[in-house]
Structure 1
């Protein structure tokens, strides 16, 4: 692979959380928030212009705990054939860093399957564009419903096909300046935006490779501050809750290093 790849060899990263029951050890982040309990709930939106259901899972600190800081917003976007409940290990880590996490269910019963042959960029573009519309609707709708959150510092994260949606949104909608950070877990088809904003991190597996022109060159990485992290023991299909604890620690360590940068 021509791109310069950074290696993170992290021996351990302590991340813990729970749902409404139980009282695990507290989590903390540099902004001063202490999270003694992570609440998980679900919500379903309906986009009236498309008559499309949008199931969401949300992760956030138990109300009444922590500091008065506004929580930043992170949107998770699953891989094809995945579910919005598949990335709890990432969601818990983000909550510990002061984020209110919203995980979107993109695939619904009755949706057309994505193409597996021919020109995949052209054939899958309608799927990605539908995802872009869904992400934009969720941002707009929840900003109205939950104005107490910090909607000016949004992180978009996507795995595989969900990562391609995130990259397409950044390409097509540079006016969305509130989207300040992108994290891709092994997206392979949609090229990275080549500009200084939003900041971009991509974690790369050992068994799948991006199409030509998707990843930035070493010079582009330096010019635009894009970070690529090669995961030395993780394959594409292990980038979810089914990963080993060691793999989860490596992924969370890379994410934490990225979002803690000023």
Structure 2
């Protein structure tokens, strides 16, 4: 009996250790690399458009210059010209930097800009705002390259929330040779191109529905590797820093899985 009891407890302890190890590996799979990050802010003048463009760079602190880097360009949702909107998604941009991505977050709206139209054919009346955002994205990417001539960029990915997602989709559509992946957080207006490259993904909220033909069919998504993720318990306006810790973690996990080809 004593041998059986001893054997039983030995097996039980073994199962317990394996279970703890499994849970640890599951959690670590989705956690960012524990890296110190640096945040720098800039205001650069696009002389061609005579437009000032503020942006923030979230980057991992490294002891030596890396052989190559991965760049993410983030575009915020519409904020009625609120001047610090580009800093309002820090849960996401900081997480990306800790995971090793050099993340550029752009301020797309300035005081004095015309407000975005809320009536009419949205794909028509809002196109000038997306085109302006596309210009901002391309200019900031070139400004980053100019400031860091010694860094080799291995990939450029775009992430955008709502209106920022619309302009990200437009940018990738017009410049597929520059962009590896696009992830939108509940963009509503700009149709996702039916293409293999760049790869498109979209995280969807529980309270908004995209316009007709914005989201590809299930068949096209399967054929072209487009990921449409229906989030649970996350509304459209909870995708910035106002969301709960649980909501932010859910969004970050999906983003990291997509960027690292683990989806």
Q: TM-score surpassing 0.5?
A: yes
Aligned to 1:231: 231
Name which of 131, 144, 147 aligns with 2:146. Answer: 144
The superposition leaves residues 5-45 of structure 1 with CA deviations (integer Å, 9 ceiling, x where unpaired) of xxxxxx967989xxxxxxxxxx52xxxxx61x111110111
Distance in 2 (alpha carbons) for counterparts of 1:68 and 1:41: 18
Aligned to 1:113: 115
Q: Secondary structure in 2 aligned to 1:179?
A: coil
* Structure-2 change in CA distance of 1:188 and 1:163 (3 Å): same
Q: Secondary structure in 1 aligned to 2:126?
A: helix
Larger relative contact order, structure 1 or 2 (CA cutoff 8 Å, min sep 6): 1
Q: Secondary structure in 1 aligned to 2:140?
A: helix
1:1-262 aligned within 5 A: 28=33, 35=35, 37-64=36-63, 68-81=66-79, 83-174=85-176, 177-261=177-261
Of the two, which has the highest radius of gyration?
Answer: 2
Contact 1:41 1:58 in 2 (8 A): yes
- CA RMSD of superposed structures (Å): 2.0
Distance in 2 (alpha carbons) for counterparts of 1:198 and 1:189: 19
Contact 2:67 2:152 in 1 (8 A): no
The answer to which structure has the higher helix fraction is 2
Contact 1:58 1:101 in 2 (8 A): yes
Contact 1:42 1:58 in 2 (8 A): yes
State the TM-score, normalizing by the size of structure 2: 0.83
Instruction: In structure 2, list runs of 5 or more residues that go unmatched.
Output: 1-25
Greater alpha carbon shift after TM alignment, 133-142 vs 187-196: 133-142
The superposition leaves residues 109-160 of structure 1 with CA deviations (integer Å, 9 ceiling, x where unpaired) of 1100010011111111111111111111111222122123343400111000
* Structure-2 change in CA distance of 1:134 and 1:214 (3 Å): same
* Structure-2 change in CA distance of 1:14 and 1:247 (3 Å): farther
Shift, 1:201, TM fit:
1.4
Distance in 2 (alpha carbons) for counterparts of 1:167 and 1:220: 17
Contact 1:157 1:163 in 2 (8 A): yes
State the TM-score, normalizing by the size of structure 1: 0.83
Contact 1:152 1:179 in 2 (8 A): no
Shift, 1:64, TM fit:
2.1
* Structure-2 change in CA distance of 1:123 and 1:253 (3 Å): same
Shift, 1:164, TM fit:
0.3
* Structure-2 change in CA distance of 1:117 and 1:149 (3 Å): same
Q: Secondary structure in 1 aligned to 2:87?
A: coil
